[in-house]
Amino acid sequence: MDGLNYFEETASTLYNPDVRSWKQEGGLVIATQCSSIPEELIHAAGILPMRVRAPGLQDTKNADAHLHRINCSYSRSVLEYLLLGKLNFLDGFVATNTCDHHLRLVSEVEDKSDYSFFHYFQMYHTLGQGAKEWLLIEMNRLVKEIGTTLGIKISTEDLRRTISVYNRTRRLMARLNDMRKAAPPPLTGAEYMNIVLSGMSIPREAFNKRLEALLPELEKRQVAETRLPRLLIIGGACDSPGFIDFIESKGACIVADGLCFGLRHYMGIIDEAASDPLEAIADRYLARIPCPSIIDGFDQSYAILKEIIDELDVQGVISARLKFCDHFAGIRKMLVDQLRQEKSVPVLELEREYNTTSSGQISTRIQAFLELL
């Protein structure tokens, strides 16, 4: 499908043709280290925010000399990308401390890059009033830093324009997710992930246009009648369409996710009528499916995931934890306990490295799980 090819292409590399054109026209690109950083602020400054990834990386031999082997392979891969010069096209970096791996990556990026704009955004880790206040303090700091370092003043009108662009994306993504309710869905999990990644890697307005054009195509798409098990996937730093494809090749269909390179990035509408747009953006971050680093976020996470499981007729959950990621170990344990208690769907617990797209052991475990379903 032509429309889908575009998303695959723009997702497969960070410095993709759209970003090149953006830069040629004098546009700035700033990377964000985590989906919890309100990238709307960067967009409102007229800058392209890009969620940092390391597609296609094979190993992390340079980064391993700086971060430790017990730091997750996503954080080491980002550092490796930086050391290899693959992030040289960026004009700035917003780092954050979502988890300890990220926290240590903050100082490494600061030390090993020479971006004219480097900002450490200190993440909230609860969902209460204190967290909201803290998030607003941090958002104001970021706005100020963009003003002082880059000389760009972000106005209320800029924020409102951005909110409308982002809401448009999220409404389109919600339509796309609705289509996944069909059995079989009109697109595979891997195709869906390419769309998701593309949205994080190109200018938003262009993405919205492309997605809007794609949706009717997908509605008309003819897919073969199959009754494959419908799965939901969770896990940290899972941005590999190849890995999703590998799971689906065993005879399954990924119809939903709770990934930061997935639903977490796109869910939730920002209140366009709110008197304070910054606060409205903050509210959306706190209301979405929380990152497992949020200490009191499990109940909110569970409620959202359970609704998805029911609505999308999910038959099994795959938890693809990156080795050494404590947060996804925690959520996995609580999720397994709760789903078991409610006699809901089973969970397959996988461990992987960031660049894993396939493995013999994972293959056997997926096959056994699918047989169980």
Partner 1 sequence: MGKPFEKTMEMVNGLAKPALELFKTMDDEDAKLFIIRLNDSIGRLEEIAAAITHQNQKVALFEFGLTPQLFYAFDCVPLCMETFPMLFTANRKEVFYEFIEAAEAAGLPSDVCSTDRCIVGAALSGEFPTNSFFVASSAPCDGTRIAYPIMKKALKVPTLFLEAPYTYEKEAAHWYGQQIKTDLIPFLEAVTGKKFDIDRFREIIEESNKAYELMLDIFDAYTVKPSPIPASISGFPYASFIASAGHPRNTESTRLFHDEVMRRVKDDIQNPFEEKHRVLWCHVQPTFDGEFFKWMEEKLGATVVTSMLSSSPILLPIDTTDIDTMLEGYAWQGLDMTMSIMRFDTNKLLEFTMKAYHQYRCDCVIVTQHVGCNSICGAAGLMRRYFHDEGVPALFIELDYNDDRVLSSEPLREQVEDFFTTIMA
Residue ranges binding ligand SF4 (CB under 6 A): 72, 74-75, 98-99, 101-102, 236-237, 293, 322, 325, 327-328
Task: State the binding string over 101-130 for partner 1 (x if CB under 8 A, else -).
Answer: x-xxxxxx-xx--------x-xxxxx-xxx
Q: Which is nearer to ligand SF4, 172 or 193 (CB)?
A: 193
The contacts found for 149-158 with CB under 8 angstroms, 24 or more apart, are 149/116, 149/117, 150/28, 150/45, 150/47, 150/92, 150/116, 150/117, 152/45, 152/46, 152/47, 154/41, 154/44, 154/45, 156/277, 158/44, 158/45, 158/46
Euclidean distance between CA atoms 95 and 37, whole angstroms: 9
Is the peptide bond preceding residue 184 cis, with omega within 30 degrees of 0? yes
The listed partner (ligand SF4, partner 1, none) that binds 126, CB under 5 to 8 Å by sort, is: partner 1
Residue 62 within binding range of partner 1, rule CB under 8 A: no
Phi, psi angle pair for 222, to nearest 5°: -95, 120
| Residue ranges in the chain assigned as alpha helix (H) | 2-12, 17-24, 40-44, 73-83, 100-112, 129-150, 156-179, 189-199, 204-220, 241-249, 263-266, 277-287, 298-311, 326-341, 360-372
Quick one: which of 20, 61, 68, 209 contacts partner 1 (CB under 8 A)? Answer: 68
Binding to partner 1 (CB under 8 A) within 198-257 occurs at: none
Residue 283 binds partner 1 (CB under 8 A) = no
**351 - beta bridge partners?**
321
Please name the amino acid found at residue 260: C
User: Strand 48-51 and strand 253-257: pairing?
Assistant: unpaired
Counting contacts by CB under 8 A, is residue 136 touching partner 1? no
- Looking at the Cβ atoms of 106 and 256, the one nearer to ligand SF4 is 106
Q: Which of 21, 88, 137, 372 binds partner 1 (CB under 8 A)?
A: 137
Q: Which does 97 bind (CB under 5 to 8 A by kind): ligand SF4, partner 1, none?
A: partner 1
Residue 306 as a binder of partner 1 (CB under 8 A): the answer is no
Tokens coding 196: 């998701």
Task: Give whichever of 159 and 237 is closer to partner 1, judged by the CB atom.
Answer: 237
Q: Any contact of residue 353 with partner 1 (CB under 8 A)?
A: no
168 near partner 1, judged by CB under 8 A? no
For 48, 76, 149, 330, the CA distances from 143, given in Å and listed in that order, are 15, 28, 10, 33
* 333 lies in the binding site for partner 1 (CB under 8 A): yes
Of 10, 16, 35, 71, the one binding partner 1 (CB under 8 A) is: 71
CB of 354 to ligand SF4, least distance (A): 8
Classified as helix, coil or strand, 273 is coil
Q: How far is the CB of 80 from partner 1 (least distance, A)?
A: 13
Residue type, 79: L
User: Distance between terminal CA atoms of the chain?
Assistant: 31
How many beta carbons lie within 10 A of that of residue 116, not counting itself? 9
Distance (Å, whole) CA 79 – CA 89: 15
137 interface partner picked from ligand SF4, partner 1, none, CB below 5 to 8 A per type: partner 1
Q: Return the one option of partner 1, ligand SF4, none that residue 56 interacts with (CB less than 5 to 8 A, by type).
A: none
In angstroms, give the least distance from the CB of 338 to partner 1: 9
User: Closest separation between CB of residue 198 and ligand SF4, Å?
Assistant: 21
The DSSP result for 152-166, as a single string, is -PPPHHHHHHHHHHH
322 binds, among partner 1, ligand SF4, none (CB under 5 to 8 A by kind): ligand SF4
Query: Which amino acid belongs to residue 238?
Result: C
Q: Which is nearer to partner 1, 61 or 181 (CB)?
A: 61
For binding to partner 1 (CB under 8 A), which residues are involved? 65-68, 70-72, 75, 97, 99-101, 103-108, 110-111, 120, 122-126, 128-131, 133-134, 137, 292-296, 298, 323-327, 329-334, 336-337
